Structure 1
Amino acid sequence: MTAPDLEPAPVALPRRRSRTVRAVAAVLPDGTPSYGPIGRVVRDGDRVLCHLCGRWFRSVVAHLRSHGWHHLAYREAFGLLRSEPLEGSNTRSLRAKAMTERRVHDPAVRAGCELGRELVRSGALTRAAARAAAGRRQPEQRRRKTLAALAAISPQARAEGSRRRADSQLRETARAAAESLGFADIGALVVARTEAGASLAAISREAGLHKDWLCRHLSTVAPETAADLAATSLARRHEQWDSRWLPLVRELGFPDVAAYLRDRHVVGNHTVRAIATETGFSRAAVESALRRHGVARHPHATTRARRDERAQAVTARFGFACLEDYFADRRAAGMSWRAIAAECGQPPTWVRRRAGLT
Protein backbone atom coordinates (compact mmCIF):
# COMPACT_ATOMS: atom_id res chain seq x y z
CA MET A 1 0.00 0.00 0.00
CA THR A 2 1.52 3.24 -1.11
CA ALA A 3 1.47 6.48 0.79
CA PRO A 4 -1.04 8.19 -1.49
CA ASP A 5 -3.47 5.40 -0.84
CA LEU A 6 -3.48 6.20 2.86
CA GLU A 7 -6.17 8.65 3.97
CA PRO A 8 -5.31 10.93 6.86
CA ALA A 9 -7.08 10.06 10.08
CA PRO A 10 -9.62 12.70 11.20
CA VAL A 11 -8.42 14.94 13.98
CA ALA A 12 -10.79 15.17 16.97
CA LEU A 13 -11.33 18.86 17.74
CA PRO A 14 -12.32 19.92 21.26
CA ARG A 15 -16.02 20.62 21.61
CA ARG A 16 -16.89 24.19 22.37
CA ARG A 17 -19.62 24.94 24.80
CA SER A 18 -22.64 26.45 23.15
CA ARG A 19 -23.30 30.01 24.12
CA THR A 20 -26.56 31.78 23.62
CA VAL A 21 -26.00 35.15 22.05
CA ARG A 22 -28.00 37.80 23.87
CA ALA A 23 -28.97 41.11 22.41
CA VAL A 24 -27.51 44.25 23.89
CA ALA A 25 -30.10 45.74 26.23
CA ALA A 26 -28.44 49.12 26.77
CA VAL A 27 -25.21 51.01 26.30
CA LEU A 28 -23.40 52.83 29.10
CA PRO A 29 -22.26 56.44 28.60
CA ASP A 30 -18.69 55.25 27.99
CA GLY A 31 -19.86 52.90 25.22
CA THR A 32 -19.80 49.67 27.25
CA PRO A 33 -22.62 47.37 26.11
CA SER A 34 -25.02 46.05 28.75
CA TYR A 35 -26.65 42.68 28.19
CA GLY A 36 -29.08 43.20 31.04
CA PRO A 37 -31.51 46.00 31.85
CA ILE A 38 -30.05 48.93 33.75
CA GLY A 39 -31.13 48.95 37.38
CA ARG A 40 -32.23 45.31 37.58
CA VAL A 41 -30.57 41.96 38.29
CA VAL A 42 -31.79 39.20 35.96
CA ARG A 43 -32.11 35.78 37.61
CA ASP A 44 -32.86 32.34 36.24
CA GLY A 45 -33.23 29.88 39.08
CA ASP A 46 -29.86 29.71 40.79
CA ARG A 47 -28.05 31.68 38.10
CA VAL A 48 -27.50 35.40 37.63
CA LEU A 49 -26.89 37.22 34.36
CA CYS A 50 -23.67 39.17 33.90
CA HIS A 51 -24.39 42.58 32.39
CA LEU A 52 -20.93 42.73 30.80
CA CYS A 53 -20.96 39.53 28.75
CA GLY A 54 -24.51 38.19 28.88
CA ARG A 55 -23.51 34.84 30.40
CA TRP A 56 -25.08 33.14 33.41
CA PHE A 57 -23.20 32.40 36.63
CA ARG A 58 -23.91 31.22 40.12
CA SER A 59 -21.86 34.17 41.38
CA VAL A 60 -21.29 37.23 39.24
CA VAL A 61 -19.02 38.68 41.94
CA ALA A 62 -16.48 35.90 41.43
CA HIS A 63 -16.82 36.17 37.64
CA LEU A 64 -16.16 39.92 37.52
CA ARG A 65 -12.42 39.33 38.02
CA SER A 66 -12.28 37.94 34.49
CA HIS A 67 -13.49 41.32 33.23
CA GLY A 68 -11.18 43.25 35.51
CA TRP A 69 -14.10 44.86 37.31
CA HIS A 70 -14.77 45.33 41.02
CA HIS A 71 -18.29 44.61 42.21
CA LEU A 72 -18.75 48.17 43.55
CA ALA A 73 -17.87 49.67 40.17
CA TYR A 74 -20.14 47.10 38.53
CA ARG A 75 -23.06 48.08 40.75
CA GLU A 76 -22.52 51.79 40.18
CA ALA A 77 -22.17 51.42 36.41
CA PHE A 78 -25.34 49.36 36.00
CA GLY A 79 -27.45 51.19 38.61
CA LEU A 80 -27.64 48.38 41.17
CA LEU A 81 -28.00 48.75 44.92
CA ARG A 82 -25.03 47.84 47.06
CA SER A 83 -27.29 45.56 49.05
CA GLU A 84 -28.52 43.70 45.95
CA PRO A 85 -27.06 40.15 45.90
CA LEU A 86 -25.21 39.14 42.73
CA GLU A 87 -25.35 35.43 43.50
CA GLY A 88 -27.91 32.68 43.13
CA SER A 89 -30.08 31.63 46.04
CA ASN A 90 -28.21 28.35 46.62
CA THR A 91 -24.86 30.11 46.60
CA ARG A 92 -26.11 32.66 49.10
CA SER A 93 -27.39 29.87 51.35
CA LEU A 94 -24.02 28.11 51.26
CA ARG A 95 -22.18 31.32 52.07
CA ALA A 96 -24.57 32.10 54.93
CA LYS A 97 -24.08 28.61 56.36
CA ALA A 98 -20.32 28.93 56.13
CA MET A 99 -20.39 32.34 57.83
CA THR A 100 -22.56 30.96 60.63
CA GLU A 101 -19.97 28.27 61.31
CA ARG A 102 -17.15 30.81 61.21
CA ARG A 103 -18.94 32.98 63.76
CA VAL A 104 -18.88 30.00 66.09
CA HIS A 105 -15.30 28.83 65.57
CA ASP A 106 -13.33 31.86 64.32
CA PRO A 107 -12.42 34.38 67.06
CA ALA A 108 -11.65 37.10 64.52
CA VAL A 109 -15.11 36.79 62.96
CA ARG A 110 -16.74 36.83 66.40
CA ALA A 111 -14.85 39.98 67.31
CA GLY A 112 -15.85 41.63 64.05
CA CYS A 113 -19.52 40.74 64.58
CA GLU A 114 -19.44 42.15 68.10
CA LEU A 115 -17.87 45.35 66.82
CA GLY A 116 -20.59 45.63 64.18
CA ARG A 117 -23.34 45.17 66.76
CA GLU A 118 -21.80 47.89 68.90
CA LEU A 119 -21.70 50.26 65.93
CA VAL A 120 -25.38 49.55 65.29
CA ARG A 121 -26.37 50.13 68.92
CA SER A 122 -24.49 53.42 69.13
CA GLY A 123 -25.82 54.71 65.80
CA ALA A 124 -22.31 55.14 64.43
CA LEU A 125 -23.01 52.74 61.58
CA THR A 126 -26.07 54.73 60.48
CA ARG A 127 -24.13 58.00 60.58
CA ALA A 128 -21.27 56.48 58.63
CA ALA A 129 -23.68 55.18 56.00
CA ALA A 130 -25.28 58.62 55.70
CA ARG A 131 -21.88 60.26 55.22
CA ALA A 132 -20.90 57.70 52.62
CA ALA A 133 -24.15 58.20 50.70
CA ALA A 134 -23.92 62.01 50.75
CA GLY A 135 -23.38 63.31 47.24
CA ARG A 136 -23.54 59.85 45.71
CA ARG A 137 -25.82 59.42 42.74
CA GLN A 138 -28.93 57.40 43.51
CA PRO A 139 -28.79 54.02 41.77
CA GLU A 140 -31.34 53.39 39.05
CA GLN A 141 -32.63 50.39 40.97
CA ARG A 142 -33.31 52.53 44.04
CA ARG A 143 -34.94 55.21 41.89
CA ARG A 144 -37.33 52.68 40.38
CA LYS A 145 -38.23 51.27 43.77
CA THR A 146 -38.88 54.77 45.07
CA LEU A 147 -41.10 55.63 42.12
CA ALA A 148 -43.02 52.37 42.53
CA ALA A 149 -43.55 53.08 46.22
CA LEU A 150 -44.71 56.63 45.50
CA ALA A 151 -47.10 55.41 42.81
CA ALA A 152 -48.78 53.17 45.38
CA ILE A 153 -49.53 56.17 47.62
CA SER A 154 -52.80 57.95 46.93
CA PRO A 155 -52.74 61.66 46.02
CA GLN A 156 -54.73 62.39 49.17
CA ALA A 157 -52.12 60.69 51.35
CA ARG A 158 -49.29 62.57 49.63
CA ALA A 159 -51.13 65.85 50.10
CA GLU A 160 -51.72 65.07 53.77
CA GLY A 161 -48.05 64.24 54.25
CA SER A 162 -47.01 67.49 52.58
CA ARG A 163 -49.42 69.42 54.79
CA ARG A 164 -48.06 67.82 57.97
CA ARG A 165 -44.50 68.56 56.89
CA ALA A 166 -45.36 72.18 56.12
CA ASP A 167 -47.13 72.58 59.49
CA SER A 168 -44.11 71.15 61.26
CA GLN A 169 -41.83 73.65 59.55
CA LEU A 170 -44.18 76.51 60.49
CA ARG A 171 -44.19 75.45 64.15
CA GLU A 172 -40.41 75.26 64.18
CA THR A 173 -40.18 78.75 62.69
CA ALA A 174 -42.64 80.08 65.29
CA ARG A 175 -40.72 78.44 68.13
CA ALA A 176 -37.42 79.94 66.99
CA ALA A 177 -38.98 83.40 66.60
CA ALA A 178 -40.51 83.29 70.09
CA GLU A 179 -37.29 82.09 71.71
CA SER A 180 -35.30 84.84 70.00
CA LEU A 181 -37.49 87.40 71.83
CA GLY A 182 -37.40 85.57 75.17
CA PHE A 183 -40.82 83.87 75.11
CA ALA A 184 -41.64 80.23 75.65
CA ASP A 185 -43.90 80.01 72.61
CA ILE A 186 -45.40 82.15 69.89
CA GLY A 187 -48.75 82.35 71.69
CA ALA A 188 -47.21 84.05 74.72
CA LEU A 189 -45.41 86.49 72.45
CA VAL A 190 -48.57 87.43 70.57
CA VAL A 191 -50.63 87.87 73.75
CA ALA A 192 -48.00 90.09 75.37
CA ARG A 193 -47.57 92.29 72.32
CA THR A 194 -51.28 92.62 71.48
CA GLU A 195 -52.04 93.66 75.05
CA ALA A 196 -49.47 96.40 74.54
CA GLY A 197 -51.35 97.52 71.42
CA ALA A 198 -49.13 96.02 68.73
CA SER A 199 -50.62 94.60 65.55
CA LEU A 200 -49.85 91.17 64.14
CA ALA A 201 -47.88 92.80 61.33
CA ALA A 202 -45.72 94.67 63.83
CA ILE A 203 -45.14 91.49 65.85
CA SER A 204 -44.15 89.63 62.68
CA ARG A 205 -41.60 92.28 61.77
CA GLU A 206 -40.21 92.32 65.31
CA ALA A 207 -39.70 88.54 65.14
CA GLY A 208 -37.89 88.82 61.82
CA LEU A 209 -40.73 87.33 59.81
CA HIS A 210 -42.76 88.55 56.87
CA LYS A 211 -45.29 91.17 57.93
CA ASP A 212 -48.20 88.86 57.00
CA TRP A 213 -46.70 85.72 58.55
CA LEU A 214 -48.74 85.74 61.77
CA CYS A 215 -51.93 86.76 59.97
CA ARG A 216 -51.58 83.73 57.73
CA HIS A 217 -50.18 81.10 60.08
CA LEU A 218 -51.17 81.98 63.66
CA SER A 219 -54.17 79.62 63.51
CA THR A 220 -51.75 76.79 62.64
CA VAL A 221 -48.94 77.44 65.11
CA ALA A 222 -51.11 78.72 68.01
CA PRO A 223 -54.79 77.88 67.39
CA GLU A 224 -56.00 78.80 70.90
CA THR A 225 -54.35 82.21 70.76
CA ALA A 226 -55.75 82.79 67.28
CA ALA A 227 -59.27 81.90 68.46
CA ASP A 228 -59.02 84.25 71.45
CA LEU A 229 -57.78 87.09 69.26
CA ALA A 230 -60.56 86.50 66.75
CA ALA A 231 -63.20 86.54 69.48
CA THR A 232 -61.77 89.71 71.00
CA SER A 233 -61.59 91.41 67.63
CA LEU A 234 -65.15 90.39 66.77
CA ALA A 235 -66.48 91.68 70.09
CA ARG A 236 -64.68 94.97 69.53
CA ARG A 237 -66.20 95.31 66.07
CA HIS A 238 -69.65 94.50 67.44
CA GLU A 239 -69.30 97.22 70.04
CA GLN A 240 -68.23 99.65 67.35
CA TRP A 241 -71.20 98.78 65.13
CA ASP A 242 -73.70 98.86 68.01
CA SER A 243 -72.47 102.27 69.12
CA ARG A 244 -74.52 103.79 66.26
CA TRP A 245 -77.67 101.93 67.34
CA LEU A 246 -77.59 102.48 71.09
CA PRO A 247 -78.75 106.13 71.19
CA LEU A 248 -81.77 105.29 69.02
CA VAL A 249 -82.89 102.13 70.81
CA ARG A 250 -82.46 103.73 74.23
CA GLU A 251 -84.69 106.60 73.19
CA LEU A 252 -87.30 103.94 72.34
CA GLY A 253 -86.95 102.43 75.82
CA PHE A 254 -84.74 99.40 75.12
CA PRO A 255 -81.56 98.62 77.05
CA ASP A 256 -79.63 97.23 74.08
CA VAL A 257 -79.86 96.49 70.38
CA ALA A 258 -80.71 92.80 70.81
CA ALA A 259 -83.79 93.57 72.93
CA TYR A 260 -85.01 96.10 70.38
CA LEU A 261 -84.61 93.72 67.45
CA ARG A 262 -86.40 90.87 69.22
CA ASP A 263 -89.29 93.12 70.18
CA ARG A 264 -89.73 94.56 66.72
CA HIS A 265 -89.01 91.55 64.51
CA VAL A 266 -89.98 88.53 66.62
CA VAL A 267 -92.74 89.89 68.85
CA GLY A 268 -94.08 92.73 66.74
CA ASN A 269 -93.52 90.98 63.38
CA HIS A 270 -92.02 94.10 61.85
CA THR A 271 -90.26 93.56 58.58
CA VAL A 272 -86.66 94.49 57.91
CA ARG A 273 -87.88 97.38 55.80
CA ALA A 274 -90.08 98.66 58.65
CA ILE A 275 -87.20 98.47 61.13
CA ALA A 276 -84.92 100.26 58.67
CA THR A 277 -87.52 103.01 58.24
CA GLU A 278 -87.93 103.42 61.99
CA THR A 279 -84.20 103.55 62.76
CA GLY A 280 -82.99 105.34 59.65
CA PHE A 281 -80.47 102.62 58.81
CA SER A 282 -80.25 100.70 55.56
CA ARG A 283 -81.76 97.25 55.11
CA ALA A 284 -78.25 95.79 54.93
CA ALA A 285 -77.41 97.36 58.30
CA VAL A 286 -80.58 95.90 59.85
CA GLU A 287 -79.87 92.44 58.42
CA SER A 288 -76.30 92.64 59.73
CA ALA A 289 -77.58 93.57 63.19
CA LEU A 290 -80.00 90.63 63.16
CA ARG A 291 -77.17 88.23 62.33
CA ARG A 292 -74.84 89.85 64.83
CA HIS A 293 -77.27 89.38 67.73
CA GLY A 294 -78.52 85.95 66.71
CA VAL A 295 -82.06 87.01 65.81
CA ALA A 296 -83.46 84.73 63.12
CA ARG A 297 -84.88 86.64 60.21
CA HIS A 298 -88.50 85.95 59.28
CA PRO A 299 -89.28 86.89 55.67
CA HIS A 300 -92.62 88.64 55.16
CA ALA A 301 -93.14 88.84 58.91
CA THR A 302 -96.01 91.32 58.76
CA THR A 303 -97.85 89.45 56.03
CA ARG A 304 -97.50 86.15 57.85
CA ALA A 305 -98.73 87.70 61.09
CA ARG A 306 -101.82 89.16 59.41
CA ARG A 307 -102.54 85.83 57.75
CA ASP A 308 -102.39 84.05 61.10
CA GLU A 309 -104.64 86.68 62.65
CA ARG A 310 -107.27 86.15 59.93
CA ALA A 311 -107.14 82.40 60.47
CA GLN A 312 -107.55 82.79 64.23
CA ALA A 313 -110.51 85.12 63.72
CA VAL A 314 -112.28 82.58 61.50
CA THR A 315 -111.73 79.65 63.86
CA ALA A 316 -112.77 81.69 66.91
CA ARG A 317 -115.95 82.84 65.16
CA PHE A 318 -117.14 79.32 64.37
CA GLY A 319 -115.72 77.59 67.45
CA PHE A 320 -112.99 75.43 65.93
CA ALA A 321 -109.46 74.84 67.15
CA CYS A 322 -107.89 75.30 63.71
CA LEU A 323 -108.80 75.98 60.11
CA GLU A 324 -108.30 72.35 59.13
CA ASP A 325 -111.09 71.27 61.49
CA TYR A 326 -113.38 74.02 60.19
CA PHE A 327 -112.78 73.08 56.55
CA ALA A 328 -113.25 69.37 57.24
CA ASP A 329 -116.56 69.99 59.01
CA ARG A 330 -117.94 72.19 56.23
CA ARG A 331 -116.81 69.86 53.45
CA ALA A 332 -118.41 66.92 55.26
CA ALA A 333 -121.65 68.91 55.30
CA GLY A 334 -121.48 69.17 51.48
CA MET A 335 -120.48 72.82 51.22
CA SER A 336 -118.39 73.97 48.27
CA TRP A 337 -115.25 76.04 48.68
CA ARG A 338 -117.07 79.08 47.36
CA ALA A 339 -119.83 78.59 49.95
CA ILE A 340 -117.24 78.21 52.72
CA ALA A 341 -115.55 81.44 51.59
CA ALA A 342 -118.89 83.27 51.63
CA GLU A 343 -119.67 81.96 55.12
CA CYS A 344 -116.36 82.99 56.68
CA GLY A 345 -116.16 86.26 54.77
CA GLN A 346 -112.81 85.56 53.14
CA PRO A 347 -111.83 85.50 49.45
CA PRO A 348 -112.15 82.07 47.77
CA THR A 349 -108.47 82.18 46.82
CA TRP A 350 -107.51 82.65 50.48
CA VAL A 351 -109.68 79.71 51.53
CA ARG A 352 -108.29 77.41 48.86
CA ARG A 353 -104.71 78.45 49.64
CA ARG A 354 -105.17 77.82 53.35
CA ALA A 355 -106.70 74.45 52.55
CA GLY A 356 -103.59 73.55 50.57
CA LEU A 357 -105.32 73.35 47.21
CA THR A 358 -103.09 75.93 45.47
Structure 2
Amino acid sequence: MTEPHIGQGDRAARHTDFGRLIRDEATDTVVCHVCGRAFRALGAHVRVHDMTASEYREEFGLLRTRALSARSLSQERSRARRAGYRASTEAQERFAAGRAMARSGELNRRRWNRADGQPETDESRRVRQESLTSGRRTQARTAGARTAAALRAEGFADLGQALRTVYVDRQLGIEDTARVLAVGKRRLRQLLTEHGIAIRPSGQNSDAGRLARVQLNDRAAAERVGVEDITVWLRERTAAGATLRDLAAATGRSVPWVAARIGRR
Protein backbone atom coordinates (compact mmCIF):
# COMPACT_ATOMS: atom_id res chain seq x y z
CA MET A 1 0.00 0.00 0.00
CA THR A 2 1.44 3.35 -0.99
CA GLU A 3 1.58 6.35 1.28
CA PRO A 4 -0.55 9.32 0.19
CA HIS A 5 0.90 12.77 -0.36
CA ILE A 6 1.47 14.73 2.81
CA GLY A 7 -0.58 17.85 3.42
CA GLN A 8 1.03 21.24 4.10
CA GLY A 9 0.21 21.20 7.81
CA ASP A 10 1.28 17.59 8.36
CA ARG A 11 4.41 18.17 6.33
CA ALA A 12 5.62 20.97 8.59
CA ALA A 13 4.92 18.89 11.68
CA ARG A 14 6.49 15.61 10.51
CA HIS A 15 9.42 16.73 8.38
CA THR A 16 11.85 19.20 9.91
CA ASP A 17 14.07 19.09 6.81
CA PHE A 18 11.47 20.48 4.44
CA GLY A 19 13.25 22.39 1.68
CA ARG A 20 16.50 20.44 2.16
CA LEU A 21 17.73 17.13 0.75
CA ILE A 22 18.60 14.88 3.70
CA ARG A 23 21.97 13.15 3.34
CA ASP A 24 23.68 10.47 5.39
CA GLU A 25 27.31 11.34 4.81
CA ALA A 26 28.57 8.24 6.63
CA THR A 27 26.92 5.87 4.16
CA ASP A 28 26.85 8.27 1.18
CA THR A 29 23.10 7.96 0.78
CA VAL A 30 20.06 10.23 0.70
CA VAL A 31 17.16 9.82 3.12
CA CYS A 32 13.53 9.67 2.07
CA HIS A 33 11.41 12.41 3.68
CA VAL A 34 8.42 10.06 3.74
CA CYS A 35 9.66 6.82 5.27
CA GLY A 36 13.09 7.78 6.60
CA ARG A 37 14.96 5.01 4.73
CA ALA A 38 18.27 5.75 2.96
CA PHE A 39 19.05 5.05 -0.70
CA ARG A 40 21.78 5.80 -3.21
CA ALA A 41 19.14 6.80 -5.76
CA LEU A 42 15.97 8.23 -4.26
CA GLY A 43 14.23 8.99 -7.55
CA ALA A 44 13.29 5.36 -8.19
CA HIS A 45 12.30 4.69 -4.56
CA VAL A 46 9.69 7.46 -4.27
CA ARG A 47 7.47 5.57 -6.72
CA VAL A 48 6.46 3.32 -3.81
CA HIS A 49 4.99 6.43 -2.22
CA ASP A 50 2.96 7.08 -5.36
CA MET A 51 5.13 10.01 -6.45
CA THR A 52 7.34 10.80 -9.39
CA ALA A 53 10.72 12.38 -8.73
CA SER A 54 9.32 15.75 -9.84
CA GLU A 55 6.33 15.43 -7.52
CA TYR A 56 8.65 14.50 -4.64
CA ARG A 57 10.76 17.61 -5.19
CA GLU A 58 7.64 19.77 -5.28
CA GLU A 59 6.16 18.02 -2.23
CA PHE A 60 9.21 18.73 -0.10
CA GLY A 61 10.24 22.14 -1.44
CA LEU A 62 13.36 21.02 -3.31
CA LEU A 63 14.90 22.60 -6.38
CA ARG A 64 13.40 21.17 -9.54
CA THR A 65 16.96 20.44 -10.72
CA ARG A 66 18.01 18.77 -7.45
CA ALA A 67 19.58 15.34 -8.05
CA LEU A 68 17.92 12.80 -5.72
CA SER A 69 21.02 10.65 -5.46
CA ALA A 70 24.14 10.08 -3.37
CA ARG A 71 27.08 12.35 -4.06
CA SER A 72 29.23 9.54 -5.45
CA LEU A 73 26.45 8.44 -7.81
CA SER A 74 25.84 12.01 -8.96
CA GLN A 75 29.57 12.41 -9.61
CA GLU A 76 29.70 9.16 -11.59
CA ARG A 77 26.77 10.26 -13.73
CA SER A 78 28.30 13.71 -14.20
CA ARG A 79 31.61 12.21 -15.38
CA ALA A 80 29.76 9.95 -17.80
CA ARG A 81 27.77 12.87 -19.20
CA ARG A 82 30.92 14.98 -19.64
CA ALA A 83 32.71 12.13 -21.41
CA GLY A 84 29.74 11.63 -23.73
CA TYR A 85 29.56 15.35 -24.41
CA ARG A 86 33.26 15.61 -25.28
CA ALA A 87 32.97 12.64 -27.62
CA SER A 88 29.94 14.00 -29.50
CA THR A 89 30.27 16.93 -31.90
CA GLU A 90 26.49 16.89 -32.32
CA ALA A 91 25.96 17.32 -28.57
CA GLN A 92 28.46 20.18 -28.41
CA GLU A 93 26.66 22.01 -31.22
CA ARG A 94 23.27 21.35 -29.61
CA PHE A 95 24.33 22.84 -26.27
CA ALA A 96 26.43 25.71 -27.65
CA ALA A 97 23.69 28.27 -26.97
CA GLY A 98 23.32 27.08 -23.39
CA ARG A 99 27.06 27.31 -22.80
CA ALA A 100 27.08 30.87 -24.10
CA MET A 101 24.23 31.75 -21.72
CA ALA A 102 26.12 30.18 -18.82
CA ARG A 103 29.30 32.14 -19.59
CA SER A 104 27.39 35.42 -19.82
CA GLY A 105 25.52 34.81 -16.56
CA GLU A 106 22.12 34.70 -18.27
CA LEU A 107 21.34 31.21 -16.98
CA ASN A 108 21.99 32.29 -13.40
CA ARG A 109 19.81 35.39 -13.82
CA ARG A 110 16.97 33.29 -15.19
CA ARG A 111 17.38 30.85 -12.35
CA TRP A 112 16.78 33.51 -9.71
CA ASN A 113 14.27 35.55 -11.71
CA ARG A 114 12.11 32.48 -12.30
CA ALA A 115 11.59 33.53 -15.91
CA ASP A 116 9.41 30.45 -16.49
CA GLY A 117 6.73 31.84 -14.17
CA GLN A 118 6.90 28.89 -11.76
CA PRO A 119 6.74 29.63 -8.02
CA GLU A 120 10.03 29.61 -6.15
CA THR A 121 10.62 26.47 -4.09
CA ASP A 122 11.63 26.58 -0.44
CA GLU A 123 15.05 25.18 -1.28
CA SER A 124 15.71 27.67 -4.06
CA ARG A 125 14.68 30.48 -1.72
CA ARG A 126 17.04 29.16 0.96
CA VAL A 127 19.91 28.62 -1.50
CA ARG A 128 19.45 32.10 -2.95
CA GLN A 129 19.47 33.67 0.53
CA GLU A 130 22.54 31.67 1.56
CA SER A 131 24.30 32.72 -1.64
CA LEU A 132 23.50 36.39 -1.04
CA THR A 133 24.58 36.19 2.60
CA SER A 134 27.81 34.43 1.70
CA GLY A 135 28.55 37.02 -0.99
CA ARG A 136 28.00 39.90 1.42
CA ARG A 137 30.28 38.29 4.00
CA THR A 138 33.00 37.79 1.41
CA GLN A 139 32.71 41.40 0.28
CA ALA A 140 32.85 42.61 3.88
CA ARG A 141 35.96 40.51 4.62
CA THR A 142 37.68 41.74 1.47
CA ALA A 143 36.83 45.36 2.21
CA GLY A 144 37.99 44.98 5.82
CA ALA A 145 41.30 43.49 4.75
CA ARG A 146 41.83 46.27 2.21
CA THR A 147 41.16 48.98 4.81
CA ALA A 148 43.39 47.27 7.40
CA ALA A 149 46.23 47.21 4.87
CA ALA A 150 45.71 50.91 4.14
CA LEU A 151 45.80 51.75 7.86
CA ARG A 152 49.06 49.83 8.32
CA ALA A 153 50.60 51.53 5.30
CA GLU A 154 49.70 54.96 6.73
CA GLY A 155 50.90 54.04 10.23
CA PHE A 156 47.52 54.38 11.97
CA ALA A 157 46.79 52.37 15.09
CA ASP A 158 43.06 52.11 14.47
CA LEU A 159 40.26 53.33 12.24
CA GLY A 160 39.10 56.07 14.63
CA GLN A 161 42.55 57.63 14.68
CA ALA A 162 42.76 57.43 10.90
CA LEU A 163 39.40 59.13 10.41
CA ARG A 164 40.25 61.97 12.79
CA THR A 165 43.72 62.49 11.34
CA VAL A 166 42.83 62.36 7.66
CA TYR A 167 39.37 63.88 7.61
CA VAL A 168 39.48 66.27 10.59
CA ASP A 169 43.14 67.27 11.04
CA ARG A 170 44.27 67.15 7.41
CA GLN A 171 40.88 68.39 6.22
CA LEU A 172 40.77 66.03 3.23
CA GLY A 173 37.42 65.74 1.51
CA ILE A 174 35.23 62.65 1.40
CA GLU A 175 36.65 61.37 -1.88
CA ASP A 176 40.30 61.79 -0.89
CA THR A 177 39.74 60.39 2.60
CA ALA A 178 37.98 57.38 1.12
CA ARG A 179 40.95 56.82 -1.20
CA VAL A 180 43.50 57.02 1.63
CA LEU A 181 41.56 54.59 3.81
CA ALA A 182 40.56 52.30 0.92
CA VAL A 183 36.82 52.48 1.54
CA GLY A 184 33.85 53.55 -0.53
CA LYS A 185 32.44 57.06 -0.07
CA ARG A 186 29.12 55.74 1.21
CA ARG A 187 30.88 53.48 3.71
CA LEU A 188 33.13 56.37 4.78
CA ARG A 189 30.13 58.52 5.64
CA GLN A 190 28.75 55.67 7.74
CA LEU A 191 32.08 55.30 9.56
CA LEU A 192 32.34 59.03 10.25
CA THR A 193 28.85 59.01 11.76
CA GLU A 194 29.62 55.89 13.83
CA HIS A 195 32.75 57.59 15.24
CA GLY A 196 30.89 60.80 16.06
CA ILE A 197 32.68 62.89 13.43
CA ALA A 198 30.56 65.59 11.79
CA ILE A 199 30.52 65.47 7.99
CA ARG A 200 31.42 68.81 6.44
CA PRO A 201 29.04 70.35 3.89
CA SER A 202 29.91 69.53 0.30
CA GLY A 203 32.27 72.06 -1.30
CA GLN A 204 33.70 73.30 2.00
CA ASN A 205 37.49 73.45 1.63
CA SER A 206 40.35 74.78 3.72
CA ASP A 207 43.97 75.69 3.04
CA ALA A 208 45.03 72.62 5.00
CA GLY A 209 42.68 70.44 2.98
CA ARG A 210 43.91 71.79 -0.34
CA LEU A 211 47.56 71.33 0.68
CA ALA A 212 46.85 67.77 1.86
CA ARG A 213 45.23 66.93 -1.46
CA VAL A 214 48.22 68.30 -3.36
CA GLN A 215 50.56 66.20 -1.24
CA LEU A 216 48.35 63.15 -1.66
CA ASN A 217 48.35 63.50 -5.45
CA ASP A 218 52.10 64.04 -5.51
CA ARG A 219 52.69 60.94 -3.42
CA ALA A 220 50.38 58.83 -5.57
CA ALA A 221 52.25 59.91 -8.71
CA ALA A 222 55.61 59.21 -7.06
CA GLU A 223 54.49 55.71 -6.03
CA ARG A 224 53.26 55.05 -9.54
CA VAL A 225 56.69 55.64 -11.08
CA GLY A 226 58.60 54.30 -8.07
CA VAL A 227 60.44 57.39 -6.83
CA GLU A 228 60.60 59.42 -3.62
CA ASP A 229 60.33 62.95 -5.03
CA ILE A 230 58.04 63.33 -8.02
CA THR A 231 59.15 66.89 -8.79
CA VAL A 232 62.83 65.91 -9.02
CA TRP A 233 61.94 62.93 -11.20
CA LEU A 234 59.82 65.05 -13.56
CA ARG A 235 62.62 67.58 -14.03
CA GLU A 236 65.21 64.87 -14.65
CA ARG A 237 62.97 63.19 -17.21
CA THR A 238 62.30 66.53 -18.90
CA ALA A 239 66.04 67.22 -19.14
CA ALA A 240 66.43 63.77 -20.71
CA GLY A 241 63.98 64.72 -23.47
CA ALA A 242 60.60 63.43 -22.19
CA THR A 243 57.57 65.43 -23.31
CA LEU A 244 54.83 66.70 -21.01
CA ARG A 245 52.43 64.23 -22.59
CA ASP A 246 54.83 61.33 -21.93
CA LEU A 247 55.20 62.36 -18.29
CA ALA A 248 51.44 62.79 -17.85
CA ALA A 249 50.86 59.27 -19.15
CA ALA A 250 53.58 57.85 -16.88
CA THR A 251 52.26 59.51 -13.73
CA GLY A 252 48.57 59.13 -14.50
CA ARG A 253 48.05 62.88 -14.12
CA SER A 254 47.24 65.72 -16.53
CA VAL A 255 49.62 67.73 -18.70
CA PRO A 256 48.89 70.95 -16.71
CA TRP A 257 49.64 69.06 -13.48
CA VAL A 258 53.02 67.95 -14.85
CA ALA A 259 53.82 71.44 -16.13
CA ALA A 260 52.99 73.01 -12.76
CA ARG A 261 55.37 70.69 -10.91
CA ILE A 262 58.20 71.08 -13.36
CA GLY A 263 57.84 74.84 -13.04
CA ARG A 264 58.09 74.80 -9.22
CA ARG A 265 61.12 76.48 -7.68
Q: Shared fold (TM-score greater than 0.5)?
A: no
TM-score normalised by L of structure 1? 0.30
TM-score normalised by L of structure 2? 0.39
Whose RCO is larger (CA < 8 A, sep 6+)?
2
